[in-house]
Amino acid sequence: MITPEFIEKVIYRFLKTLFSKRRYDLIICGERKATAMLRVLIQEIKDPKLDLAWQQVLSSSAIDAYDWENFQGKTILIFEEMVHHGNGLRRIFKQLRFNKRVPRDIEILTAGFGVWEHCEYRPDFWYSGFLNDNEYTEFREGIIALLQRYGSLLLDTEHIELIVKLECGLSDFFNALARSADDGSTFSFISGAGKLNLTITNPPLLNEPKMKGILTPGSNTKGVVKKVRTVERSHDRFAIIPIFLPNTRCVLNQEWIEGLPQFVDTNVFENNRVSYREVFYLVGLLASIELLRGIVAALGDLISKNLITLEVAEESFTHLSAMFPYINIQGLRNYVTTVVLESKSCSPLHSIQAVKVRDIPENILNKFTFDFFSSLLQKMYDWDDQEKRKRDPNGLSCMEIREISEVVASEFEINQNGLSVEKAVVAVAPDRTIDAGFLNTNVSKIMSSSNEPWAIRTFSPAAEVVTAKFEQQIGTKGNPYR
Amino acid sequence: MSDLGKFTPDADSELFGKNVACTNKILAKILLDWTSTELGDGKKRQKYLTAIYFDKLTELFCRIWDQLQAEEKIRYKSAYSSYRGIHGPGRAISINRQEDDKLSLGTNPKDYRRHKLAYITEIIEKIYPPVSKARIPFKLIGDAWNSRCRIEPQIAHSQWRSWLEGSEDNSMDSVFLTARELSFVMNISQAIRILTKEEIRALGTHPDASNTIAGIQFNLNKWQYMSDKLTQGHQVNDAENVSERLKYIAQEIKRKCVTNRSSYESGIRKLKEELKKIGDADLQNAINKVQAQTTSEIWDNDSIVRYAKYADIIHNVSIYLEACIRILYLNKQLSSRELEALAKITKNLDKEYSRLGCSFPDPADIQKTSMESVSDMCRRVKREIWERIPHIPEEGKSGVP
């Protein structure tokens, strides 16, 4: 059986060997597990850690924003933790050679930790190169378990986080967080590795006017992902991860560009280096920082009594350079520090008596997650060819995800022990499926009725092996959680 | 368990520490479930229990759990032993206090902790997980020795489940709770959850008639000692506190003899109904063995009937004595409500004991009398009561039944 401990050991050895034999000036990671994997090896594991600077790492999602004209290096390595057919590697390679016109004197090599036996586009280097279906699935699941063990690291390759160190009990901490949103918005549950989680859905903004300056002209926040996740990292440390991803109209004006914080290198907007994807993630980054204000205000009492310590830790930011190569990371950290300091003296939204944390038992969450994901697959299978052609291949929108959740939730017994199942599972199930590696998040470009480009968050099944497993499960045994 | 190791230097820290951790986790879960229970009509439970109620919750759980262990249905006993105190049986551990702790005992006149014992609230106060306080099962608000201190659960429901999932390996020895043990915990929690705090207190205080008798006698012995101090002509430096304590002990005697009966009745009825719904035969059998199934088993016991006859009088004498001390020794005034209540008590005492030549002055006239005269009357009343109630030899000093 492939354990997370085994994966950690061998992937470390694989990459260490790879980097010791040759110098790579840039390592491009297939988003998002590869970036998360590097984060584990560079920051989280016990010493010795992988000796690699984040400046040498670039996410595949940020290729367009990278300053290729000034790239001085000689060798690029594209790394994916698992390579199935090799389409991901091939796509990145093409993007570099043909879209970005990376010159031929710059060598581009590829590496995959685990490779499927029938892979069509094989990488140059691998650890295990001929995995059959079962082995491939085991390796993949071992990687996901490892990422879950280190605290849902699949989440945060593009999100900032604050680290909270507790000197109080867990209940006081969770109850304080719940003060940042209306009653019935805060849910606790356990993720795959038995880690404690708290999700706050739709927390109000403390500074609405500030948000207007962050959104590109015409963008909106209707029905978007807007939540704060709190994830256990260790016995007494939690990561607070705000996630706010507005529907972004990708028509920029000078006023908006000039209004960006100083840590953003606005040169990136010249010369068409920025695509809809970068605009979306940048707006999402800035919007998520605004969510922190309410959270910090809610924790104010605990902070002032030294019952918790809130850290804007360097190691929570350095990995973001892979995703945002045009951002000064220290500048971003300073900005967030200022926001935190400003918010400490603000009043929380609600008193502690007015709100309650709702707990979601695993059996409900598992049942719902299974049904939700099955329904999602079914919906995608039901698309006819015309529908498929109309759509960006990157999946379903937030609204569509919510619709599926609501239909599935309507089959559940509502109000189990005072828990509004619909609201709870609609809020939490997508997170659970992302944590478990079932669901990928993407950015899709859609054209509005006035033919303007918009970027929205979309979701799609993570991998062929995942969908195959679900199909097999549904076909033979039905829902195992019922 | 570094704090626990310092606190219990003689214990086998490896096994004992683990057992304390397990017991505390289970108690935290039971308290969490109890405080989270919605009462219907939009009412909510309070988020804490005060010390005595929590102590009795602990006693009730540990009593059941230890019986299950005695019947070999579970692997380990609870970490705490039952000791007798003013409020009946409670759970504690035997300790050797460090010098600083020993010195601190007795500096507050209301701190009744003992050198060799730590009751459950002090255990909670002093024991933290080895790494920070992030996973403390309880929060204690107030002084651990004060009956009004509050104990709140600090765990989240999801934290309980993560404890169940997380063990270093899956061997029987290291797993926190086996499936059967978990079902016992959940069933006990379900049964206790429906009880009011008074019902928990009553069930915790009264396992059976013989324990109740021992408890009453324990209180009577304490009451005798303290009333002797006040009435035998010794100038008591701390007369006010001693008399308040005397009154408190008398209340406890009355509670055990009389007041707890109705709470016990409703509690045991609810418990039996809930156990029937739960359908756990092993649990039901264990509870049947450690808990009287009817109130008459306890309160219709001859000795307790005789105690009950005098519980009110003992209480009234204590109130009267305390009032006299406040007026005569301390020059304090009573409120009009206190005076009114005292007048009724005086009338009853007079009616009952005038045949002994006792004439208890009215509240308005107490100032004209002397403490010696009041003490003399109280001694005569007490002598007569003592002749009429059953006497059981005092237990060993540790209070172990």
The alpha-carbon gap from B139 to the nearest alpha carbon of chain A, in Å, equals 7
H or E stretch covering A234: strand A220-234
Q: What pLDDT, in 10s, does the model give residues B290-332? A: 999 999 999 999 999 999 999 998 999 999 988 988 888 888 8
CA A97, distance to chain mean position in Å, is: 27
Residue B50 has pLDDT above 80, yes or no: yes
Interface test with B, best of A183, A190, A235, A355 (most B CBs within 10 A): A190
Residue B148, Cβ neighbours under 10 Å: how many?
Answer: 10
Q: Which of A346, A309, A57 is nearest to A165 (CA)?
A: A309
Q: Name the token pair of A133.
A: 């279906």
Report the mean per-residue pLDDT for chain A: 87
- Quick one: what percent of chain A has pLDDT higher than 90? 52
Distance from CA of B163 to the nearest CA of A (A): 9
Mutate which of A171, A174, A431 to test chain B, going by most B C-beta atoms within 10 A?
A171
Mean pLDDT for chain B overall: 86
> How long, in residues, is chain B?
401
The single-letter code of the amino acid at A426 is V
- The reported pLDDT for the residue numbered B394 is 56
Question: Do B151 and B25 meet the contact criterion of CB atoms below 8 Å apart?
Answer: no
HSE value, Cβ hemisphere, 13 Å, CA-based, for A155: 31
Of B156, B162, B166, the CB nearest to A171: B156
Q: What average pLDDT does this structure show over A419-437?
A: 76
Residue B108's pLDDT band (boundaries 50, 70, 90)? confident
DSSP for B103-117 reads HHTTSSTT----SSE
Q: Please answer yes or no on whether B134 and A166 come within 8 Å at the CB atom.
A: yes
- Measured distance between the N- and C-terminal CA atoms of chain B, rounded to whole angstroms: 30
Whether residue A428 has pLDDT greater than 90? no
On whether the CB atoms of residues B242 and B223 are closer than 8 A, the answer is: no
> What pLDDT is stored for residue A205 in this prediction?
93
pLDDT tens sequence across A366-402: 888 888 888 888 888 777 777 766 666 668 888 888 8
Question: Using a CB-CB distance cutoff of 8 angstroms, which residues of chain A are in contact with residue B33?
Answer: none
Q: What's the pLDDT band for A215 if we cut at 50, 70, 90?
A: very high
Q: Is the confidence at residue B198, as pLDDT, over 90? A: yes
Q: What does the block give as tokens for B379?
A: 């001694």
- Taking an 8 Å cut-off on Cβ atoms, the answer to whether B156 and A172 are in contact is no
The DSSP secondary structure of B300-364, one letter per residue, reads TSHHHHHHHHHHHHHHHHHHHHHHHIIIIIT-PPPPHHHHHHHHHHHHHHHHHHGGGT--PPPGG
- Taking the C-alpha atoms of residue A64 and residue A274, their distance in angstroms, rounded to an integer, is 6
| B132, B165, B166 member nearest A236 (Cβ) | B132
Q: Is residue B304 within 8 Å of residue B209, measured between CB atoms? A: yes
Over range A112-125, report the average pLDDT.
94
CA distances from A478 to A465, A474, B156 (A): 18, 4, 32
Partner-chain contact A197 B159, CB within 8 Å: no
Could you tell me if A405 and A365 are in contact, meaning their C-beta atoms sit under 8 angstroms apart? no
Nearest to B155 among A166, A170, A189 (CB): A170
Strands A237-249 and A220-234: antiparallel
Question: For the whole model, what pTM was predicted?
Answer: 0.86
Kindly list the residues of chain B whose beta carbon comes within 8 Å of any beta carbon in chain A.
38, 129, 131-139, 152-159, 161-162, 165-166
According to the model, what pLDDT value does residue B56 have? 97
Q: pLDDT by residue (tens digit) across A238-258?
A: 999 999 999 999 999 899 999
DSSP B175: -
To the nearest whole Å, the CA of A237 is away from the closest chain B CA by 8
DSSP 3-state assignment of B284?
helix
* 3-class state of residue A237 by DSSP: strand
Strand pairing of A107-116 and A125-131?
parallel
Predicted pLDDT at B393: 59
Identify any residues that bridge with A460 across adjacent strands, giving them in sequence order: A440
Q: Which of A435, A313, A425, A349 is nearest to A177 (CA)?
A: A349
Question: pLDDT value at position A214?
Answer: 93
- Report how many Cβ contacts below 8 Å link chain A to chain B: 72
